[in-house]
Amino acid sequence: MAIKIILADSAGVCFGVENAVSTAEKELFKDNKVYSYGPLIHNPQSIEKLEENGLEVINKIENKNGKIIIRAHGITVEEESSLGETDSELIDMTCPIVKRLQFAIKALTEDGYHVIIVGDKDHPEIIGAKSYGKNNISIIKSVNEIDDLIKRFNKIGVVAQTTIPVENFWSVVDKLKTINKLDLKVIDTLCDDIHNKQVEAKEIAKDVDVMIVIGGRNSSNTKEIAKLCKKVNPLTYQVETYDQLKQLEIDFKNKTIGISAGASTPPWIIKEAIDKLMMVN
Ligand code: SF4
pLDDT of 1 reads 63
Residue 234: which H helix or E strand, with range? Answer: none
CB 216 within 8 A of CB 241: no
pLDDT of 27 reads 94
Domain boundaries, the chain: 4-12+192-278, 15-94, 97-186
Q: Give pLDDT tens digits for 109-129.
A: 999 999 999 999 999 999 999
DSSP category for residue 115:
E
Atom of ligand 1 at shortest distance to CA of 15?
7
Region 15-94: CATH code: 3.40.50.11270
Q: Give pLDDT tens digits for 225-255.
A: 999 999 999 999 999 999 999 999 998 988 9
Q: Give pLDDT tens digits for 187-205.
A: 999 999 999 999 999 999 9
Active site residue 110: no
Q: Give pLDDT tens digits for 207-218.
A: 999 999 999 998
Q: Kindly tell me if the per-residue pLDDT of 79 is higher than 70.
A: yes
Q: Give pLDDT tens digits for 37-70.
A: 999 999 999 999 999 999 999 999 988 889 999 9
CB 41 within 8 A of CB 49: no
Q: State the distance from the centre of ligand 1 to the C-alpha of 208, rounded, in angstroms.
A: 27
CB 8 within 8 A of CB 265: no
Same topology between domain 15-94 and domain 97-186:
no
CA end-to-end span of the chain: 9
Computed over every residue of the chain, the mean pLDDT equals 94
Atom of ligand 1 at shortest distance to CA of 163?
1
Amino acid of residue 162:
T
* Neighbour tally for 52: CB within 10 Å: 9
- In this predicted structure, which of 63-67, 99-103, 174-178, 243-247 has the lowest mean pLDDT? 63-67
More confident residue, 25 or 64: 25
Q: Would the CB of 29 count as within 6 Å of ligand 1?
A: no
Ligand 1 pocket mutation pick from 10, 13, 17 by most atoms within 8 angstroms of CB: 17
User: For residue 99, what are the CA distances in angstroms to 96, 114, 245?
Assistant: 5, 19, 35
Composition of the chain by helix, strand, coil, percent to 5: 45, 20, 35
Topology of domain 97-186, CATH: Cobalt-precorrin-4 Transmethylase; domain 1 (3.40.1010)
Atom of ligand 1 at shortest distance to CA of 72?
5
Instruction: Tally the residues of the chain.
Output: 281
Q: Give pLDDT tens digits for 127-167.
A: 999 999 978 999 999 999 999 999 999 999 999 999 999 99
Q: Kindly tell me if the per-residue pLDDT of 281 is higher than 70.
A: no
Domain 4-12+192-278: CATH architecture, name and number where available: 3-Layer(aba) Sandwich (3.40)
